[in-house]
Every structure is written in C-alpha cells, then in structure tokens.
Structure 1
Amino acid sequence: MTDTASNSDWLDNIKWDADGLVPAIAQDVHTQRVLMVAWMNREALQLTVQEGRGIYWSRSRQRLWRKGEESGNVQQLHELRLDCDADVIILQVEQIGGIACHTGRQSCFYRVLKDGEWHTVDAVIKDPADLYKNPKE
C-alpha cells in the first residue's frame, strides 16, 4: 500500500460529509463479521493506509484515534473498499487481540432484536476496566 500512501489523489474520490468525515465499517478479514462502525477524516484515512492499521476520527474527543492505542487491540489493515456512492469505507482488518468493542466484546454488534426486545448475545471477553487506562473513552 506504500504507492497509494504516498499519492493522496485517491482521497479526492471520496464524498466527505459536511464535517469532512466518512463512515468507516471495520470488518474481520477472516470471518467477514462487522466489528464496528466509526468515522474517518482525510488524515485518518491517509494514515490508515500509511501505517497499515485502523485509525479513526473521534467525534467526541475531536482527535485522531488509533484503534488499540490504549487496549492493545489493534486493527491490522488488509484491504480498503469504497462503496458505489463513494461515501462509505469498509476496512477489512485482522483484529489483533480479538476485541473490537469498547465494551470488551469481539464486535460492537452484540444485540439482537427478538420479540420486540434487544437481547445481548455475545459475552464480554475482557472487562473494559482491564482494557483501558480510562474506560470512558
């Protein structure tokens, strides 16, 4: 990905929203399971390609967020895909450590609707208090 990383023209093909962001879906490269949805700005996407790992824009903290910077659960980038409207990115990643969700689960999508109620179907793999220096982030 080094040729792509050094040339940023490909970033101009993305339809950024009014805040300069694009939704980014992280998908496990092996199982195809959706792990999480986050946001990326131009810098986050370019750094993701340069560093070969998931880097996002935190809307709440208003700063770049390198997935795994506190927990060690890094997303190693295998492939980037852009949807037909050029306004959503899919990152196919290997989730190092097996935990993508800040709740300590494999995926952020751990609730299933059954009989009009949301049911938790995935167990916590590791207590968030043990994952993060500051579990609220």
Structure 2
Amino acid sequence: MAFLPKFDSAGLVTCVTTDAVSGDVLMVAHMNDEALRKTIATGEAWYFSRSRNALWRKGESSGQTQRVVEMRTDCDQDAVWLRVEQRGAACHTGRHSCFYRKVEMAGEGGARLVFVDADRLFDPAAVYRK
C-alpha cells in the first residue's frame, strides 16, 4: 500500500509529535511535501513554519533535535504522527512539551490556564538571539 498524503489547500498536513518513550505529546506542527520527504530521507523531524513561511529542521537553531523512531498516518492520510527521540526541549519556550498549560474548566463556559510541567530546559532568549 502506498503512502499518499493528502495535503490541504495550503499544501500542508498536520503533524502530531510524541515522545517515543513516555508517550507525552510534545508538539503539533505542519509539514509540506518537502518537510515530509526530508523527514523520511534523514530520520530527523522537519516541519514547515506557517508564520515564517519556511522549512525548518527541528533543532537547527536550538540544538533540541528530534530523531524519528516511527511515523504513522491516519485513515485519511491527511495527518501524520511522529514518535521521536527528543533531545532536550520540544517547545520553543524551552519547555519539554508545548502542552505545558492545562485548561481548567470553571463551569458556566469559563476556563483558565494553569501551568503544569512548565520548567524550562533552556533559556529561549539566549538560544534564539537575533
């Protein structure tokens, strides 16, 4: 059976990335065809930044890299799941995961954010100097 990803109108597929050992959700990002091909060819995670409109290899600026252990696709082939060996932090904020805030539902439609697993593994200001 062929892997034939279905890209959206912007030429992207959603990518959910989890830690291969713990199962923690690390991040949700997007991949274009080139990012997907480079990920498959190199075994390292490549993504497409919608805000920068650019291809990027995870860790190229921060050194916080992801080695792909397994790649899966969903039933429609319009989303990808990467199980990775995370070296350092996955989040650009310096945290292990981008999902470091819990949404507490306060009833009557209200909600608030609570920090969980929010310790920083690196200082983003020092790493991403521009």
Instruction: Tell me whether the two structures share a fold, i.e. TM-score over 0.5.
Output: yes
Give the alignment's Cα RMSD to 1 decimal: 1.2
What displacement does 1:62 show? 1.2
**When the two structures are superposed, what TM-score results if normalisation uses the length of structure 1?**
0.85
5+ long unaligned stretches in structure 1: 1-8
5+ long unaligned stretches in structure 2: none
Tell me what 1:120 maps to.
115
Q: Any residues of structure 2 matched to 1:93-112 within 5 Å, and which?
A: 93-97=84-88, 99-112=89-102
SS of 2:81's partner is: strand
SS of 1:18's partner is: coil
Q: Any residues of structure 2 matched to 1:1-137 within 5 Å, and which?
A: 10=3, 13-97=4-88, 99-114=89-104, 115=106, 116-122=111-117, 123-134=119-130
Distance (whole Å) between structure 1 residues aligned to residue 38 and residue 121 of structure 2: 29
Contact 1:104 1:131 in 2 (8 A): no
Distance (whole Å) between structure 1 residues aligned to residue 91 and residue 66 of structure 2: 12
| Residue correspondences, number | 123
Moved over 3 A (4+): none
SS of 2:96's partner is: coil
**Identity of aligned pairs, percent?**
49
What displacement does 1:124 show? 1.8
Contact 1:112 1:118 in 2 (8 A): yes
Distance (whole Å) between structure 2 residues aligned to residue 132 and residue 32 of structure 1: 27
What displacement does 1:133 show? 3.2
**When the two structures are superposed, what TM-score results if normalisation uses the length of structure 2?**
0.89
Amino acid at match of 1:55: W
Amino acid at match of 1:14: P
Q: Which moved more, 1:108-117 or 1:68-77?
A: 108-117
The structure with the largest strand share of the pair is 2
The structure with the largest helix share of the pair is 1
